[in-house]
Amino acid sequence: MPDFTHSPVMVAEVLAALRPTPGGWWTDGTIGGGGHAAALLAASSPDGWLYGCDRDDAAVEAAKRRLTEFSGRFEVRQGNFADLAEWVPPSSCDGVLLDLGVSSPQLDVAERGFSFQQDGPLDMRMDRRQAVTAESLLNEASAEELAKVFWELGGERQARRLARAIARERECRRFVTTRQLAEFIEQLVPRHGRKMHPATRVFQAIRMVVNDEAGSLQRGLAGALRILKSGGRLAVITFHSQEDRIVKDFGRARARDYTFTGGMDVPELRAPCAPEVKWVQRKAIRPSVVEVAANPRSRSAQLRVMEKLGEACRLTGRKEPVGTSG
C-alpha cells in the first residue's frame, strides 16, 4: 500500500466549530488522509456517523485505512463534494467540513504533476478518471483563454505576457512536464530574490481549471446547506484568496434577506426571503503560530464557519429557495 501522510490543519478549531457530539451526523467532503474525519468520529463516539468523499482515489483508500477503528460508523466514496446532496440525505447533518486545496501526497508525489518543486508529467487531476489534464489545457487552450485563467484564478499580473509566450513556445515544443513549465516561466519572470516561485500563480490557476475548483466549490457550498439540519454548521478551510472570496461571497449572500424569483425574472413571482445562514464568526480563523511552525503548509489556511438557519422562504412556504441555489 502506498504511504499517504497528510497533517490535517486547525483540527482543534474545526472541532470547536462543528461541536461533534455522540449520535451526531457529520460530512467531510474532502476526506484526504482522514485526519479531520478521525477527529470528528473520535469526538462523536460511540455512535456519531460520518459521510466522506474525495475526488482522489488514493485519498479515499487512505481514509478508509485510517478510519478502520471506527468501522460501521462511516461511508466513504470517491466523488466530488459538489455532488454531496445527491447521496447524503437532505437536512440530515449536524456539520459539514470542506478542507479545500490539495493534500501533501498530491504535492509530494511527482507523478501527480501538481508541484513545480518536483519534475513530473503535467497532470494535476484530483480525479484521475477525468480526461482533461494540465498538459491538454496548456497545449490546447488559446492564448486568450490562458491569460484569463492566469489572471482570474491565479491573480497573475503578467497573465497576458505569459500566456502569449506559452502559445508561441508550444508551436516548437509541447509542454509536457512540470519542470519544463516552471523553468520557462522563471526565464520570463526572474525571481529577483523573491521567496515565492514565479510559477506559483500559474500552477494554481491551471490546477483550479483542470479540477473546476471554483465551480465545484459553488455547487458544494449550496449542496452542503441542503444536507445540513437547521442549526447545523458548515466549516470551510481555504488556502488562497480566490477560493476564500467564493466562500465569503456565498456566506454574505445567504446571510442577508434576498429576493426569490422562482427561477424567472417575473415581478409577480418575486417574494422576499429570510436569510438562510448566519456567520458563526465574522472574521476568518487562522492557525496558531505554534501550528504554522510545526506545519508550514498551514500558514495560508483560513477557516470560515456558518450556521444554517431555520425555514428560509417563509412567504413562499418553500423550505428551499430553488431558484437561487448554486
DSSP at 200: H
Q: Does 94 bind ligand SAM (CB under 6 A)?
A: no
Q: For 225, how many CA atoms within 13 A lie in the half-sphere containing its CB? A: 29
Q: Does 102 bind ligand SAM (CB under 6 A)?
A: yes
Question: How far apart, in whole angstroms, are the C-alpha atoms of residue 273 and residue 292?
Answer: 41
The nearest distance, CB 283 to ligand SAM, in angstroms, is 21
Q: Does 95 bind ligand SAM (CB under 6 A)?
A: no
Whichever of 123 and 189 has its CB closer to ligand SAM, that residue is 123
- Under rule CB under 6 A, which residues in 51-90 are in contact with ligand SAM? 53-56, 59, 80-82
The nearest distance, CB 6 to ligand SAM, in angstroms, is 4
Q: Does 209 bind ligand SAM (CB under 6 A)?
A: no
- Under rule CB under 6 A, which residues in 290-309 are in contact with ligand SAM? none
14 to 43: interface string for ligand SAM, x by CB under 6 A: ---------------xx-xxxxx-------
Whichever of 103 and 163 has its CB closer to ligand SAM, that residue is 103
149 to 178: interface string for ligand SAM, x by CB under 6 A: ------------------------------
DSSP 305-326: EEEE-S-SBTTTTBSS-GGG--
Cβ distance 308 to 221 under 8 Å? no
User: Identity (one letter) of the amino acid at 218?
Assistant: Q
3 state DSSP class of 94: strand
Contacts of residue 309, Cβ cutoff 8 Å, sequence gap at least 6: 230, 274, 275, 276, 277, 278
Q: Does 233 bind ligand SAM (CB under 6 A)?
A: no
Question: How far apart, in whole angstroms, are the C-alpha atoms of residue 227 and residue 75?
Answer: 15
Tell me, by CB under 6 A, how many residues bind ligand SAM: 24
Whichever of 185 and 222 has its CB closer to ligand SAM, that residue is 222
The nearest distance, CB 66 to ligand SAM, in angstroms, is 8
3 state DSSP class of 8: coil
Beta bridge pairs of residue 41: none
| Chain residue at closest Cβ approach to ligand SAM | 32
Closest CA to 84 of 213, 212, 219: 219
To which H or E segment does residue 273 belong?
Answer: strand 271-273
Closest CA to 125 of 116, 135, 117: 135
Q: Does 115 bind ligand SAM (CB under 6 A)?
A: no
The nearest distance, CB 89 to ligand SAM, in angstroms, is 19
Among the listed residues 6, 125, 201, 240, the single contact to ligand SAM using CB under 6 A: 6
Distances (CA, A) of 119 to 54, 69, 103, 177, 310: 25, 37, 18, 7, 50
Question: How far apart, in whole angstroms, are the C-alpha atoms of residue 262 and residue 271?
Answer: 8
Cβ distance 150 to 201 under 8 Å? yes
Q: Does 287 bind ligand SAM (CB under 6 A)?
A: no
The nearest distance, CB 157 to ligand SAM, in angstroms, is 26
The nearest distance, CB 287 to ligand SAM, in angstroms, is 13
User: Could you tell me which stretch among 99-107, 189-197, 278-286, 313-321 binds ligand SAM (CB under 6 A)?
Assistant: 99-107
The nearest distance, CB 36 to ligand SAM, in angstroms, is 4
To which H or E segment does residue 303 belong?
Answer: strand 302-308
**Chain positions contacting ligand SAM, by CB under 6 A:** 6, 8, 29-30, 32-36, 53-56, 59, 80-82, 99, 101-103, 126, 216, 220
